[in-house]
Chain A
Amino acid sequence: MMSSTTQSNMARRIKTPLVILFYLFIWELGALKVSSSLILPSPVETIEALLELMPKEVFRLSVATTVVRIVSGVGLSMVAGIFLGIASSMKKQIFYIIEPLVGFLKSIPVISVSILILLWFDENIAPVAVCFLLCFPPIWSNTFQGMNTVDKKKIEMARVYQVEWIDILKNIYLPHLSPYMLSGLSISIGLGWKSTVTAELLSSAPYAMGRMIYNSKIYLETTDLFAWTMTVVILSMLMEKIVKCLIEKKSRRIRDGHKN
C-alpha cells in the first residue's frame, strides 16, 4: 500500500508538467489567434529560436556574464544583509540607521535605481550594484526577524553554562536563522535576475542577457526576445532550486555536526 507522502509526491510530479502544458496550450492558442510571430511567437517558434541561439558563442558568453553578475550581487547582499541583520538586532543604533535605508530601497523603482547607478558606475559594475541594492532588503529583513524570534531562554541557558559564543551561534542562532535566510535568499534570487537584466538592458553592458533582450526589441526579433526571456526564467528557477538544495544540505550538516 502506498503511503500518503508517496502519493502526494507522485501527485505533485504529475501536476507540475500538467500545469506547464496547460499554460503552453493557452500560449499556443493566443499565438494561433494573433497569427503573427512579430507580435506573439508560438511556444514551438520560441523553442526553435532558443535552440538556434544556444550553440552561438554570444549566447554562452552573455549567459555566463549575467550569471556571474547575479551571483556577485546576490552574494554581496547575502554577506552584508546577514552581517547587518545580526548587528541590527544586537545594537539598536545600527537598526535605526539601516531600517529607513531598507524602507527606501524597498519602495524605489528598479528603473530609478538602475539609471542613478549608471551615472556613478561603469556598465560592468552597474548591474552588480543594482542587484546588490535590491537584494539587500529581503535578506536584511529576514535575518533581523530571525534574530528577534530566537528563543532567548535557550541563549540564557547557554550563557549560564558559559558556552562559547561560536557554539551559541552554531547551535542556537544558525539552526533557527537558516529558514529565514533561505527564504530571504530565495526572494533575492528572483529579484537579482530581474534587476540585473534590467540594469544590463539600460547600461548596454557588453555580453549581457539584458543587452540581448534590448537588441531583440530594437531589431523587432520578437521570437528571440521570447527565447532570451525564457532563458532568464529557466535559469532563475534553476538557480533558486540549486541554492535551496545547497543551503538545506548545509543546514542539515550544521544540525548534525555534533553527532560526529
Chain B
Amino acid sequence: MDIKIKNLIKKYNGQVIFNGVDMVFKRGLISVISGPSGIGKTTILNILSGIDNDYEGTVLGVDKEKISYVFQEPRLLDHLTAYENIKFVLNKKLDFDKIEETINKVLETVELTEYKSFYPNELSGGMKQRVSIARAFAYPGDLILMDEPFSGIDEKLKMQMMRDIKKLQKKQMKTIVFVTHNMEEARFIGDEHYIIEGRPSIIRKQVK
C-alpha cells in the first residue's frame, strides 16, 4: 500500500500552512519534496514520523515502528562510536548475530568501515551525516524520511552521498521521502517530485 496524506490541514502560530492537501508516496521509490525554506517541508516529515500530531487529516500506510529518519543534523550520541550509534537503534529490533552483519554492510556501502570505532568528535561533518544515513538504512523499517541531509556539505561529498543513498535504496527497495530546497538535488535523487509553494501551501507534482 502506498503512503497517503489526505486532506491535511495544518496551522502553526495561527497561520494556515496546509489547507486540505493530498499527497501520495509510492512504495519502493524516492519521492522528493522541494520548495523554499519555511514552507512546511519538514512539517510533512514530522507528520509522517509521528513527531507532529497536531494536525487535521489522515495519514495512511505508515507503520510508526518501521520509520527511519535522517535529520538535518546527524544527531549522533557523542559517547558512542559510529558502530555503536547504529547499534543503539537496532537493539532488540534484530537478532544479536544479525546486528553486526547489518551494521558492517551499511558501513561498507557508505565507505566508513575503517571509521566504525571512531567517535563523532573524531569524524568530519560529512562522515557523521553518512553514519546517520547508514543508521537509517540499517534500521529494519520500510520508510526512510530525509530532511535536507546535505545541508552544509560540499558538492563533491554531496554527490557521493547521493550515490550512496541511491545504491542503498536499490539494494533494499525502501520507500524514501526526501526533503530539499535544492532543485538539482531533487532532480538527481528523486523518482517522483513534489513542489510546495505559496501560503497556504499548494503542492504540485512534477512529472520526471
Residues of A within 8 A of B (CB): 153-154, 156-164, 167, 171-172, 175, 255, 258-259
User: Which B residues, 61 to 96, have Cβ-Cβ distances below 8 Å to chain A?
Assistant: 64-65, 67-69, 71, 73, 75, 77, 79-81, 84, 87-89, 91-93
Q: Is B50's beta carbon under 8 Å from chain A?
A: yes
Q: Is B18's beta carbon under 8 Å from chain A?
A: no
Q: How far is the CB of B77 from chain A (nearest CB, A)?
A: 6
**Residues of B with C-beta under 8 A to A258:** 80, 84, 87-88
- How long is the Cα–Cα vector from A171 to B87 in the complex, in angstroms? 12
When the two chains form their complex, are residues B51 and A161 in contact, meaning their CB atoms are under 8 A apart?
Answer: no
Instruction: Assess A160 versus B49: contact at CB under 8 Å? Given A153-B71, A258-B88, A259-B84.
Output: yes
**Residues of B with C-beta under 8 A to A160:** 49-51, 67-69
- How long is the Cα–Cα vector from A47 to B51 in the complex, in angstroms? 65
- How long is the Cα–Cα vector from A162 to B65 in the complex, in angstroms? 6
Instruction: Assess A157 versus B69: contact at CB under 8 Å? Given A164-B92, A172-B77.
Output: yes
Show 26 residue pairs from A and B whose CB-CB distance is below 8 angstroms, ordered by the A residue.
A153-B73, A156-B75, A157-B71, A158-B88, A158-B89, A160-B49, A160-B50, A160-B67, A160-B68, A160-B69, A161-B69, A161-B89, A161-B135, A162-B64, A163-B91, A164-B91, A164-B92, A167-B88, A171-B77, A171-B80, A172-B77, A175-B77, A255-B79, A258-B84, A258-B88, A259-B84
**Residues of A with C-beta under 8 A to B64:** 162
Q: How far is the CB of A87 from chain B (nearest CB, A)?
A: 24
Which of A153, A159, A163, A258 lies at the interface centre, i.e. has the most chain B CB atoms within 10 A of its CB? A258
**Residues of B with C-beta under 8 A to A156:** 51, 75
Interface of A (DSSP majority class)? helix
- How long is the Cα–Cα vector from A255 to B71 in the complex, in angstroms? 24
- How long is the Cα–Cα vector from A162 to B51 in the complex, in angstroms? 12
Chain B residue at smallest Cβ distance from A157: B75
Range for the number of chain B residues in contact with chain A: 20 to 34
- How long is the Cα–Cα vector from A161 to B91 in the complex, in angstroms? 10
- How long is the Cα–Cα vector from A157 to B147 in the complex, in angstroms? 13
- How long is the Cα–Cα vector from A154 to B64 in the complex, in angstroms? 18
When the two chains form their complex, are residues B91 and A167 in contact, meaning their CB atoms are under 8 A apart?
Answer: yes
**Residues of B with C-beta under 8 A to A158:** 88-89
Instruction: Assess A161 versus B84: contact at CB under 8 Å? Given A167-B91, A171-B77.
Output: no
Q: How far is the CB of A202 from chain B (nearest CB, A)?
A: 46
- How long is the Cα–Cα vector from A163 to B69 in the complex, in angstroms? 13
When the two chains form their complex, are residues A153 and B80 in contact, meaning their CB atoms are under 8 A apart?
Answer: no
User: Which B residues, 118 to 156, have Cβ-Cβ distances below 8 Å to chain A?
Assistant: 135, 139
Chain A residue at smallest Cβ distance from B69: A160
- How long is the Cα–Cα vector from A170 to B73 in the complex, in angstroms? 22
Chain A residue at smallest Cβ distance from B81: A259
When the two chains form their complex, are residues A163 and B49 in contact, meaning their CB atoms are under 8 A apart?
Answer: no
Chain B residue at smallest Cβ distance from A163: B89
Instruction: Assess A171 versus B67: contact at CB under 8 Å? Given A153-B75, A160-B50, A160-B51.
Output: no
When the two chains form their complex, are residues A171 and B88 in contact, meaning their CB atoms are under 8 A apart?
Answer: yes
- How long is the Cα–Cα vector from A202 to B135 in the complex, in angstroms? 61
**Residues of A with C-beta under 8 A to B71:** 153, 157
When the two chains form their complex, are residues A154 and B75 in contact, meaning their CB atoms are under 8 A apart?
Answer: yes
**Residues of B with C-beta under 8 A to A157:** 69, 71, 75
Instruction: Assess A175 versus B65: contact at CB under 8 Å? Given A161-B89, A164-B92.
Output: no
Q: A154 contacts which of B50, B77, B135 (Cβ < 8 Å)?
A: B77
Chain B residue at smallest Cβ distance from A151: B75
**Residues of B with C-beta under 8 A to A161:** 68-69, 89, 135, 139
Q: How far is the CB of B81 from chain A (nearest CB, A)?
A: 8
**Residues of A with C-beta under 8 A to B135:** 161
Which of A157, A158, A159, A255 lies at the interface centre, i.e. has the most chain B CB atoms within 10 A of its CB? A157
Q: B93 contacts which of A153, A162, A255, A259 (Cβ < 8 Å)?
A: A162
Chain A residue at smallest Cβ distance from B50: A160
- Further contacts, 10 of them, CB under 8 A, given A162-B65, A259-B81: A153-B73, A157-B71, A158-B88, A161-B139, A162-B64, A162-B93, A167-B88, A171-B80, A258-B80, A258-B84
- How long is the Cα–Cα vector from A164 to B139 in the complex, in angstroms? 14
Q: How far is the CB of A171 from chain B (nearest CB, A)?
A: 6
Q: A175 contacts which of B67, B79, B92 (Cβ < 8 Å)?
A: B79
**Residues of B with C-beta under 8 A to A162:** 64-65, 93
